[in-house]
Amino acid sequence: MSHDSDYFYDKAKKQGYRSRASYKLLQIHEKFHIFKKNQEVVDLGASPGGWTQVASEKVGNNGLVIAIDKAYIPPLNLKNVDILQMDIMNETISEYLKERYGLIDVLLSDCAPNVSGKWSLDHSIQIMLAERAIKIAEDILKDEGWIVVKVFQGEQFANFVSYAKKVFTTVKLFKPQASRKRSAEIYLIANNKS
């Protein structure tokens, strides 16, 4: 483990965040100001809940964070968080979310595959998850809403960014300081604000 990963891991433990990934989202918010009080946020691939904790703080008691993962998310005991154990590949997920919650303000996706060790396979699955997040965002995001999606850089990366640019008017790429230096991950941050 390199020094930078130790730092954020230790910091997460001290501050009560479930994962070092919390700092990635905090750094994204610091740069792009994606959250406001009273918003509704969907957090895809939310387990173990580090991003959900950050979003919950940012939207406040009158906001709502809907944490979704097919893996079990241990209860967070936060009044403004709903936890749903669902697979984001389920075709009915957008309809379900719209019927239950209406349109949302922010869609987060820190989804990643269970790493197989075969880079091209992991990259393909990760791109598929990122594309799925955009599809869900098209269905449930308000016109002015934000999306934050983890992407692995690789041979399908440029095509994915082109696809995002067809859906959103503003598309930015950002690698938070809390990401490991050697990691291929980068975050795509997008919205339809002109």
* Annotation: binding site for S-adenosyl-L-methionine: 49, 51, 69, 87, 110
Give the residue extent of every domain in the chain: 3-191
Summarised one tens digit per residue, pLDDT across range 10-60 is 776 777 677 878 999 999 999 999 999 999 999 999 999 999 999 999 999
User: So what's the pLDDT on residue 9?
Assistant: 67
150 labelled catalytic = yes
CA pair distance 118, 7, nearest whole angstrom: 28
Q: What is the CATH number of domain 3-191?
A: 3.40.50.150
Helices of type H across the chain: 3-15, 21-32, 50-59, 93-101, 119-140, 157-167
Q: Which residues contact 14 (CB under 8 A, 6 or more apart)?
A: none
Please determine, for residue 7, whether its predicted confidence score (pLDDT) is greater than 90.
no
Percentages helix, strand, coil for the chain, rounded to the nearest 5? 40, 25, 35
User: So what's the pLDDT on residue 18?
Assistant: 72
Read off the pTM. 0.93
Q: Report the candidate in 101, 94, 110 with the shortest Cα–Cα distance to residue 54.
A: 110
Average pLDDT for the chain: 92
Q: Categorize the per-residue pLDDT at 3 as very low, low, confident or very high, splitting at 50, 70 and 90.
A: very low
Strand pairing category for 170-174 and 81-85? unpaired
Active-site residue, selected from the candidate residues 13, 14, 150, 172: 150
Q: Categorize the per-residue pLDDT at 183 as very low, low, confident or very high, splitting at 50, 70 and 90.
A: confident
CA pair distance 106, 144, nearest whole angstrom: 9
Strand pairing category for 170-174 and 141-152? unpaired
User: So what's the pLDDT on residue 83?
Assistant: 97
Q: Report the candidate in 156, 23, 171, 41 with the shortest Cα–Cα distance to residue 108.
A: 41
pLDDT > 70: percent of the chain:
95
* Annotation: binding site: 49, 51, 69, 87, 110
